[in-house]
Structure 1
Amino acid sequence: MRVLVVEDDEEMAQTVAVGLRQSQMAVDVAFDGPSGLERALCNDYDVIVLDRDLPGMHGDEVCSELLAAGCRGRVLMLTAAATTEDLVDGLGLGADDYLPKPFDFPVLIARISALARRVHPVVPPVIRHGDLVVDTARRTASRGDRPLELAPKEFGTLELLLASEGRAVSAEELLERVWDEAADPFTNAVKITISRLRTKLGDPPIIETVAKRGYRI
Structure 2
Amino acid sequence: MVAQGEPGAWWPAYIHLYPLLSEQSDIIDWFSKNHVSYYLKDEIDDRDNPREDAFHGFQALLALRGKWSELEARSLEAIHDEKTAGSKFLVDYRFYLALARRDVEGMENALEELAGPLAPKRNFEHAFGLTQNLIATHAVIYSKIAFRWGHTLRIRSSWVPSNWLPVNPLKEYDQGWNFMADFDIWEPFAPPWTEWSPKKG
TM-score normalized by structure 1? 0.27
Work out which structure has the larger RCO, using CA pairs closer than 8 Å and 6 or more positions apart in sequence: 2
Larger radius of gyration: 1
More helix by share: 2
More strand by share: 1
TM-score normalized by structure 2? 0.29
